[in-house]
Amino acid sequence: MAKKTSANSRRRPIDVVDAKVAVDLATAQTYSENVFLFVPNLIGYSRVVLAAMALHYMNYHPKYCTLAYTVSCLLDAFDGHAARALGQTSKFGAVLDMVTDRCTTSALLCYLASAYPAYAIVFQILISLDFSSHYMHMYSSLVTGSRSHKIVTSEVSRILWFYYNDPRVLFVICAGNELFYVALYLMKWVNTPLSTSLGLSVGYLEPYTWAEVMAMLCFPVCALKNVINVIQLWKASKILVGVDLAERAQAREDAKRS
């Protein structure tokens, strides 16, 4: 028998399952209850615009690119707070947030693959891992009735529970991961040694630029983030296989009764 899950992590299925009915509801929504205009979703749209600006400047203006990219990523920490504070959580907002994260990071990794051709396959693997782990995790959350992909119990995975349960941990790991990629981007533009930039001796860091130092500091966080992605992919795979086995067992029981 599967364990019963808490009421907090489950939501009763709604009656609207037909896609045409859902489209009609979205079309007929009023201004006062328009999910597209929820504050956290408006923040999400601004993230998309800033990410597009970062892509526009990425190849020739590193300052504007870095500013737009960083602000877009930082806003990710505010849309969730706004949703909870205003009572405007939505499935659309959750998916918009995840899709924006994946696409923004992947776009930067694509640039890094061209900037560092010897490591192109590494960046391609990172893109594939990021998309596959989050897609499978999101899908496994949906088929098991979870209200959010961020609701993970310690019984499923203590590591994922620790990662998703504490917003501070989630922010630090995600920020460190993005800062590592940004540092790799800036290393192509920053050539002045740290000692020259600061005008003082920095010991064994003397020959490095500040972008290289930033990359060295953030690399362990990036490595941890991708280990978590691997764990997330594996756990989601096991959940989906478990659902398959449960459904097959139920089908056999139904066949015996008929």
Token code pair at residue 205: 């860091």
**pLDDT value of position 56:** 97
Residue with tokens 């737009």: 68
CA angle at 246 for the pair 244 and 247, rounded to the nearest 5°: 65
Alpha carbon distance 38, 86 (integer Å): 9
Let me know if 130 is a catalytic residue: no
Residues in Cβ contact with 235 at an 8 Å cutoff, skipping those fewer than 6 apart: 137, 140, 156, 157, 160
**pLDDT value of position 30:** 77
Q: Count CB-CB contacts under 10 A for residue 92.
A: 14
Cβ proximity of 100 and 223 under 8 Å:
no
Burial of 120 (0-12, 13-18, 19+ CB in 10 A): middle
**pLDDT value of position 14:** 54
Alpha carbon distance 172, 163 (integer Å): 10
Judge if pTM exceeds 0.75.
yes
Alpha carbon distance 232, 36 (integer Å): 30
Alpha carbon distance 137, 240 (integer Å): 9
**pLDDT, mean of each 10-residue run, the chain (258 residues):** 44 60 82 87 97 96 97 90 88 92 96 97 98 95 86 91 93 96 97 84 86 97 98 96 95 91
**pLDDT value of position 2:** 42
Alpha carbon distance 252, 258 (integer Å): 10
Cβ proximity of 240 and 143 under 8 Å:
yes
Query: One of 101, 166, 244, 254 is an active-site residue; which one?
Result: 101
Beta strands in the chain (DSSP E): none
**pLDDT value of position 18:** 79
Cβ proximity of 104 and 51 under 8 Å:
yes
Q: What is the DSSP letter of 15?
A: S
